[in-house]
Amino acid sequence: MASATLLKSSFLPKKGEWGTTRQAAGPKPVTVSMVVHASAYADELVQTAKTISSPGRGIIAMDESNATIGKRLASIGLENTEANRQAYRTVLVRTPGLGQYISGAILFEETLYQSTVDGEKIVDVLVEQGIVPGIKVDKGLVPLAGSNNESWCQGLDGLASREAAYYQAGARFAKWRTVVSIPTGPSELAVKEAAWGLARYAAISQENGLVPIVEPEILLDGDHGIKRTFEVAQKVWAETFYYLAQNNVLFEGILLKPSMVTPGADCKEKATPEQIAHYTLKLLHRRVPPAVPGILFLSGGQSEVEATLNLNAMNQSPNPWHVSFSYARALQNSCLKTWAGRPENVKAAQNALLLRAKANSLAQLGKYSSDGEDAAAREGMYVKNYSY
Ligand code: 13P
């Protein structure tokens, strides 16, 4: 622990000052003392979170695990080899001008230590573009014993030493994705486990200089309506902030990565961007303190255009936080398909990425229009029980 300050109960009346009626009416007040731990990195964390939350910019999530990126590469007929993963990620980070729209890039561990195909450290290429490198630190989902077939997220063991090494390698923020499923519950146990895991991860990350992205994804699976998602999201975020506070997490030095509040993927009643924005902002206003600098949504299987329209709808009037994107599929899909593993397509693929990055940048500023978007960008990417 870097430093500890003892806060005494100075805000409470002194002994003998309590009114007699009050004393008679209830139990004597307990003496409150709290030990508040501050990370040695506090100022840096606040600055990193602010930089990532800069106007007109958001995050590219390019931290697919080797299993997940394997599925992406298979979709364009490529083998899941380290060389192919490196080639694809070189296309992404070498996109000229990307830093104008992208403030942070989440990497998988392999990429953090990898170079581009032309031999420059990927971390250095990002920094040159003004993009903050980040790192996925969770170890994925496994079945949660004693629950209703739900999951929990592994990765706390050894996290502090892994994160210290990631900081040395240039990472300045971290991501931990856990999920909550509506059709299978969610049970009290699953919500508590998700929230507690996120809070422990956040505290450990801050002690090691990494801004934690707090991501309890509420999966799109199910045929429930938007109001049910709203109800579950309120519960999940209440619990998450309760445990973040209990773990002395510095709210000015975190970022959130929620799912938007939408109907389940199989719900017959679809929602408009305005309805999604209405419920999502209502949730955020009720649950997220204004001390939190940035809220950067995941795309969760929405089409590229849907994800951009929904973000745009949320930025039609000022918010207390930076409301932006941290998309994987909704930023990369057209780019990956255009590239198709061919060197002659690299430029066109980079243009496709830049098009999506710019569209989402405009949406962050509330100035996006979907006129002229092509049909492929409107295709949904929902996958049942999605892992990352
Ligand atoms: P999607 O935008 O594809 O949902 O992925 C974002 C992400 O990082 C999930 O953890």
333: Cβ below 6 Å to ligand 1?
no
Which residue's alpha carbon is nearest to atom 10 within ligand 1?
A: 177
> Could you read off the pLDDT of 213-262 as tens digits, one per residue?
999 999 999 999 999 999 999 999 999 999 999 999 999 999 999 999 99
**Distance between first and last Cα of the chain:** 32
Domain-wise residue ranges, the chain = 45-378
Query: Rounded to whole angstroms, how far apart are CA atoms 359 and 115?
Result: 28
DSSP 121: B
> Could you read off the pLDDT of 174-220 as tens digits, one per residue?
999 999 999 998 999 999 999 999 999 999 999 999 999 999 999 99
Does the pLDDT of residue 364 top 60, yes or no? yes
| 320 CB neighbour count, 10 Å cutoff | 14
Ligand 1 center to 346 CA (angstroms): 23
Integer CA distances (angstroms), 173 to 42, 44, 252, in order: 13, 11, 13
Give catalytic status of residue 217 as yes or no: no
Give catalytic status of residue 358 as yes or no: no
> Which tokens sit at 219?
């999966």
Q: Which CATH number fits domain 45-378: 3.40.120.10, 3.20.20.80, 3.40.50.2300, 3.20.20.70?
A: 3.20.20.70
Given this model, what pLDDT does residue 371 score? Answer: 82
> Which tokens sit at 216?
């309890």
Query: What SS3 state is found at 299?
Result: coil
Nearest-atom number in ligand 1 for the CA of 106 is 8
Query: Rounded to whole angstroms, how far apart are CA atoms 234 and 249?
Result: 20
